[in-house]
Amino acid sequence: MSNQPQCVTLGLAPSFGFGDRIGLATPGHVEAMNRSANGIEPIFPQQSIREMTRTQRTAQQVMDDALNGAKAAGWDGCIGADADHLKTPEDVDVTAAVGFTFFTIDPSDDVDQQADDYSEATLREKFESARESASWYDTYVGSSIGLPTGATIDLSEEACMRAAVKYGPAIKRARGMGDYIKSVHDAKGLDYEIELSVDETDQPTTLAEHYIIADQCLKGGMKLVSLAPRFIGELEKGVDYKGDVTALEASLNDHAAIADLLGPYKLSLHSGSDKLSMYAALARATKGRFHVKTAGTSYLEALRVVARHDEALFRRIVQFGRERYDVDKATYHVSATNAAVPTDDGLDAKKLEQLYRAGTTDSALHVRFNADRSGTRSGRAIRSGIASGYIHRSSRRSFQSASGSSGCRDVGQRPETNS
C-alpha cells in the first residue's frame, strides 16, 4: 500500500496502547491523541494472539486496519505496534512478518499460581523440583537492597525460594522468547523492543520477584523496554481501579525505583481501560516513563453504538457473549457473574435498569441501559459512532498533570544496559 505509515520502536517515551478488536476504532484513537496526548506516543496496532483467534482476524488485518485508519484520520506522528501476549516462537513469526515492533512476552503458562500459599514444607519440596530452572537462586539469596523510596528488597531464603517456585520456569521461557525475537530481527536488520508481562497472576508481584525477574532478563540480554507487574488492588477491563489509591501510589513508587535501578525501563499498566483514579499516580511514580495498555473502552463504545442503532444485533451480541462468558473469562481478570437475564422482547429499558441496579447485568447490558433507541441502523452510522469512542476527557488532566512532553524522535535511545 503506497504511503502507508510504518511502525517504529518508541523507546522509553510514555506510550498508550489502543486495543481495537473490531478494526474500526483507530480514527477515534487518533482524535484522542490529537486532543490529549501531551507527549504520549501511540500504539495503534495492538492485539494478542488469543484475541485474533477469537475475533478471526489475522495479524496482517490488525496491522492494516490500524494503519489505514490512522492514515485516513490524518495522523502523521510515530506509531508503535504491539504484538501482545506472545507465548510461542510461532506467535513471534506471525507478528514480526507484518511489521509489529513491540513484542509482549507472556510466560504465564509457566507460573505456579499457588506458590504464595505453600507452607514451608511444601515450598521446600517444590523448590527441589524448581531448582534446575532457577540456577540464579544462589546469586540473590541473603541479599538486601535499599531503594530511594525507603523500601527494602529483602531477598531472604523464603522470598527467593518462592520466586524460584513461582517464576523459575517462566523466567527461563521469557529469556528463550527474548532470544528468539532478537534472532528474528537481527536476521532482517530490523529494530524491535520487548515488554514482559507478569501481571496475569492471582497475587501482586512482590518487590523481590520484580527485581529477580527483571535482573535475570536483562542479564540474559533481553531488550527490555517495559515490564508489567501485577499491581496491588483489582484491575478489571473497562472499569476504574478498585483499591486504596494512596497505597497503590506507594507501591508504584517502589516498583518504579526498581525499574530505574535495573533499566531504566517503563512500568506497564495492563487492563488499563478507564483506570482514571490511578493514571496520575502512575505518571508521577514513573516520572513519565510508563506504558498503558487498553482495549475495553473502545469495545464498550462500539457496543453502545450497536445498542442505539441495531437493537436486534445488540441482543445477538449479548446472547453470544453470555454463552461464551464462562469459558472466556478464564483468560481475563473479571468479577462479573453470568446471572440469568431475560432475553425476550420484554427486556426494555425499565427492566434493564432494575437488573443493573440489582447488580446482575454485565458491562454490555449496562451499555444497553444507557443507550437510547433512536437513530438509523446504517453501517455508516455505526462506523462513525465507533470511531467517536475517544479517551474519557477526565483522563487528560490526569496524564497531563504528571507526565512530561517528549517527542518520539527524541526518546528512542535506550541505555546500553538495555541493548
State yes or no: is 195 an active-site residue: yes
CB atoms within 10 A of CB 120: 9
Cα-based distances in Å from 333 to 238, 252, 301, 339: 11, 20, 20, 18
* Cβ atoms of 115 and 77 closer than 8 Å: no
Q: What are phi and psi of 11, to 5 degrees?
A: 60, -140
| Catalytic residue (one of 84, 106, 112, 274) | 84
CA-only gyration radius of the chain, Å: 22
E strand map for 28-124: 41-48, 80-86, 102-105
CA 73 to chain centre: 24
CA angle 13, 19, 24 (to 5 degrees): 125
* Cβ atoms of 352 and 358 closer than 8 Å: no
Whole-angstrom distance, CA of residue 70 vs CA of residue 67:
5
> Is 218 exposed, middle or buried, given 0-12, 13-18 or 19+ CB atoms closer than 10 A?
middle
Whole-angstrom distance, CA of residue 359 vs CA of residue 187:
54
Residues 6+ away with beta carbon under 8 Å from 21: 47, 51, 55, 295, 298, 299
State yes or no: is 193 an active-site residue: no
Residue 239 DSSP symbol: S
Whole-angstrom distance, CA of residue 188 vs CA of residue 212:
31
* Cβ atoms of 334 and 321 closer than 8 Å: no
Q: Look at the block and give the residue holding cell 464498550.
A: 300
Residues 6+ away with beta carbon under 8 Å from 219: none
| Catalytic residue (one of 195, 236, 254, 274) | 195
Residues assigned a catalytic role: 84, 195
